[in-house]
Amino acid sequence: MHATTPAPQRLTGNFVLLKADALHLLLPQEDLGAAEYLEGTPRASSQPGWFEIDGQGDRAPRLVAALSAAMEPLPALPAGRFLLTGLAAQDGVALCWNEVKVLIDVELETHELPPVLLPPDAPLRRFVEFDDGPAFCCSGQGLLAYAFAQRM
């Protein structure tokens, strides 16, 4: 007996493709704040996995983090992570990326990940294929909850 492969599903709307080395994520645009360049030198904060940067202008200092390919916070910010995106679900925090690409009014075909490949609490269930490989579909809240479950 052969297992059937679930049919692809379509996603439509505005999305952001986020790349951090081997980690490629696709999030709804409304889950993210504006992208900006990392300015200044982040310093360690009192929270493991988080770094603090001074706010620009009248902004308060912010917490930033960089994620590994396994979506875990890294102990240091890699040199190539120069772009920041805030998360709508958590004001005052941002994640560092190598590349941020906004996809406006697109229709994307998603594929289901085999459940055996994922831990039960993983926020990733589907992926989209791009020319340079798969990007895993996620929500901002799911990403934050998974990456910092025991750390916030």
88 phi/psi in degrees, rounded to 5: -60, -30
Residue 56: pLDDT band (50, 70, 90) is low
pTM for the structure as a whole: 0.86
Name residue, tokens 């690409």: 101
Task: Output the DSSP codes for 7-71.
Answer: PPEEEEEEEEEEEETTEEEEEEGGGEEEEEE--S--EE-SSTT-EEEPPSTTPPPEEEE-B-TTS
- Cβ atoms of 11 and 17 closer than 8 Å: no
DSSP state of 148: T
Q: Containing H/E element for 147? A: helix 140-147
- Cβ atoms of 63 and 118 closer than 8 Å: no
Token pair, residue 117, equals: 């490949």
What would the pLDDT profile of 14-26 be if each residue is shown by its tens digit? 999 999 999 999 9
What would the pLDDT profile of 88-136 be if each residue is shown by its tens digit? 877 778 999 999 999 999 999 999 988 787 777 888 889 999 998 999 9
97 forms beta bridges with 83
Average pLDDT of the segment spanning 46-68: 81
